[in-house]
Amino acid sequence: MDSRRIVFSVIALSLIFFGASLSSGAAARAATGTLGMSWATAGAEQNLGVRLIAVNRRGGASGAASVLCTTVNSTAVAGKDFTAVNRAVTWANGDAADKWCNVTISNATPFTGQKTFYVKLSDPTGAPLGVPSTKVTIYGDKGGGLVSLSAATYTAAQNAGSVKITLNRTGGSSGGASVNFATANSTAIAGTNYTSEHGTISWGNGDAAPKSIVIPISNAAPFTGTKKLAVAIAGAEGASLGTTASAIVSINGDAATTSAGKATLSWSAPTLDTNGTPITDLAGYNIYYGTSSTTMTKVIAINSPASGSYTISNLPSGTWYFAIAAYTAQAVESPLSTTVSKTI
């Protein structure tokens, strides 16, 4: 045996011996567990209200245990920026569930930038301490800035495919911010002229980059003139609404550039899945079409499994290509059918 292998064997034995000497202490800790904070750091917007602070018992739950949870000032001050906490957190024998030492954040005096305080654990009984404190950073409400739409009016052609609405955060970017948005009908109708959209746009701490809402526009039913829809933002958090919180989108119809051509498609409903099992949740069909067999980018959704035909009107002159796919209630789409074409 060479010397390197001899040294390795000696080290291995010493490690085994060392582990055996600590086994009784480790078993004791495992029996009671340790008490500690769930997070070393946490953040809170100044207008959050209550910041949840979790305290845990990990590695065992033998016997009752308790720990004192208190807040400690730093640049954030109790009574001004948050409400002080001084309470006991307890566990019964066998209890290992997380407990809570929540802190109420105040925005009675908005500020710019960040302030911090600590939530600390002390005086443990029945189990030793693990992570002893959580550092909480409050992001000032005053520095969150303003969130606005970039314009009060937008214009898009009916054949543009979509229109992009830009949201700007100006005047500050301290802390996270968010705003809700939604579209609404005017003379343009959701599901016919455009796709209804709603949701939330968010910015992180320090983020002042413009964000976008994309609204799909349909030219499946071309029209002449202009149709309009509305977009609005509301419910800002971490920031305030700016002066432009709503906008009108004008869609310019493209029917004047089309001819009166049309194509009628007929099909039979599929009865078997690709694996040979019966289809029990057929939900509808998607018709794909375009001026090239490889770029059928226009789509018409037929939300009825009983449908067997559809007429596409106002097709411009030229050769058009069509294919259809079925889809299930789970939005699983079949492969495309054989492509067919018609010259207008």
Q: Is the pLDDT of residue 251 over 60?
A: yes
Residue 341 or 24, more confident: 341
H or E element, residue 18: helix 3-32
pTM of the model: 0.44
The pLDDT score that the predictor gives to residue 94 is 95
Tell me how many domains the chain contains.
3
Q: Is the pLDDT of residue 146 over 60?
A: yes
Residues 47 and 83 grouped into a single domain: yes
SS3 264: strand
Print the domain residue range for 51. Answer: 28-140
* 38 φ/ψ angles, rounded to the nearest 5 degrees: -75, -25
Q: Is the pLDDT of residue 24 over 60?
A: no
pLDDT, one tens digit per residue, over 200-218 is 999 998 899 999 999 999 9
Residues 127 and 152 grouped into a single domain: no
The pLDDT score that the predictor gives to residue 256 is 55
Q: Is the pLDDT of residue 12 over 50?
A: no
Residues 243 and 313 grouped into a single domain: no
Residues 236 and 189 grouped into a single domain: yes
- Rounded to whole angstroms, how far apart are CA atoms 200 and 146? 16
Domain CATH for 54: 2.60.40.2030
Residue where a domain terminates, one of 89, 114, 140:
140
Q: Is 9 within the bounds of a domain?
A: no
Under a CB-based contact definition with an 8 Å cutoff, are residues 93 and 57 in contact?
Answer: no
Residues 182 and 286 grouped into a single domain: no
Judged by average pLDDT, the poorest of 57-66, 270-279, 331-340 is 270-279
Residues 326 and 237 grouped into a single domain: no
Residues 296 and 322 grouped into a single domain: yes
Q: Is 17 within the bounds of a domain?
A: no
For the chain, give the percent of residues with pLDDT over 90: 65
Judged by average pLDDT, the poorest of 3-17, 159-173, 192-206 is 3-17
Q: Is 19 within the bounds of a domain?
A: no
Residues 197 and 122 grouped into a single domain: no
Mean pLDDT score across all residues of the chain: 87
